[in-house]
Structure 1
Amino acid sequence: MDLGIAGRKAIVCASSRGLGYGCAMALAREGCEVVINGRDEKRLTAAAEEIANATGAKVIPVAADVASPEGQKALFAACPEPDILVNNNAGPPMRDFRELSREQILDGVIANMAVAIELTQKVIDPMIAKKFGRIVNITSGTVKAPLAGLDLSSGARAGLTAFMAGVARQVAGSNVTINFMLPGAFDTDRLTSNIEGNAKRQNISVEQARQNRINSVPAKRFGTADEFGATCAFLCSTHAGYITGQNIMIDGGVYPAAF
Structure 2
Amino acid sequence: MDLGISGKRALLCASNAGLGLACAKAVAAEGVDIVINGRDPEKTAAAEAEVKSMAKGKVLAVQADVTTDEGRAALLSICPRPDILLNNNAGPAPKCFMETVRSDWESTYQSNYLAPILLVHAVLPGMIERGFGRIVNITSAMVTMPRPHHTMSAGARAGLTASLKALSLEVARHNITINNLLPERIDSPRQVEMAHAAMKREGLTFEEARAAQVQSIAAKRLGRLDEFGAMFAFLCSDHAGYISGSNLHLDGGSYPGLV
Same topology, TM > 0.5:
yes
> Please, which runs of 5 or more residues in structure 2 have no aligned partner?
none
What's the CA shift string for 1:93-133, capped at 9, x where partnerless?
Answer: 11111111112101101100111100000011110010000
What's the CA shift string for 1:168-221, capped at 9, x where partnerless?
Answer: 000000001101110001111111111122123222211011112101211111
Instruction: Determine if contact 2:141/2:183 at 8 Å carries over to the other structure.
Output: yes
Q: Which residue of 1 aligns with 2:31?
A: 31
Distance in 2 of aligned mates of 1:72 and 1:202: 38
Q: Which residue of 2 aligns with 1:173?
A: 173
Q: Which residue of 2 aligns with 1:202?
A: 202
Say which SS state the counterpart of residue 134 (structure 2) adopts.
Answer: strand
Distance in 1 of aligned mates of 2:119 and 2:150: 24
Say which SS state the counterpart of residue 90 (structure 1) adopts.
Answer: coil
Say which SS state the counterpart of residue 31 (structure 2) adopts.
Answer: coil
Question: Is 1:254–2:257 an aligned residue pair?
Answer: no
Instruction: Determine if contact 1:51/1:57 at 8 Å carries over to the other structure.
Output: no
What's the CA shift string for 1:32-77, capped at 9, x where partnerless?
Answer: 0000100000000000110010224311100000011110111011
Distance in 2 of aligned mates of 1:217 and 1:143: 17
Aligned-pair RMSD on alpha carbons? 0.9
Question: Kindly, what percent of the aligned residue pairs are identical?
Answer: 47
Q: Which residue of 1 aligns with 2:77?
A: 77
1:117-136 equivalence runs, <5 A: 117-136=117-136
Q: Which residue of 1 aligns with 2:237?
A: 237
> Please, which runs of 5 or more residues in structure 1 have no aligned partner?
none
Distance in 2 of aligned mates of 1:67 and 1:200: 28
Distance in 2 of aligned mates of 1:201 and 1:132: 46
Distance in 2 of aligned mates of 1:88 and 1:145: 19
Q: Which residue of 1 aligns with 2:106?
A: 106
* Residue identity in the other structure for 1:122: A
Instruction: Determine if contact 2:32/2:56 at 8 Å carries over to the other structure.
Output: no
Distance in 2 of aligned mates of 1:201 and 1:133: 42
* Residue identity in the other structure for 1:153: S
Q: Which residue of 1 aligns with 2:40?
A: 40
Distance in 2 of aligned mates of 1:180 and 1:37: 19
Distance in 1 of aligned mates of 2:207 and 2:236: 37
Q: Which residue of 1 aligns with 2:60?
A: 60
Question: Is 1:90–2:90 an aligned residue pair?
Answer: yes
Deviates more, 1:101-110 or 1:167-176: 101-110
* Residue identity in the other structure for 2:145: A
* Residue identity in the other structure for 2:135: I
Give the TM-score of the pair, scaled to structure 2.
0.98
Q: Which residue of 1 aligns with 2:190?
A: 190
Deviates more, 1:111-120 or 1:198-207: 198-207
Say which SS state the counterpart of residue 55 (structure 1) adopts.
Answer: coil
Give the TM-score of the pair, scaled to structure 1.
0.98
Instruction: Determine if contact 1:11/1:36 at 8 Å carries over to the other structure.
Output: yes
Question: Is 1:225–2:225 an aligned residue pair?
Answer: yes
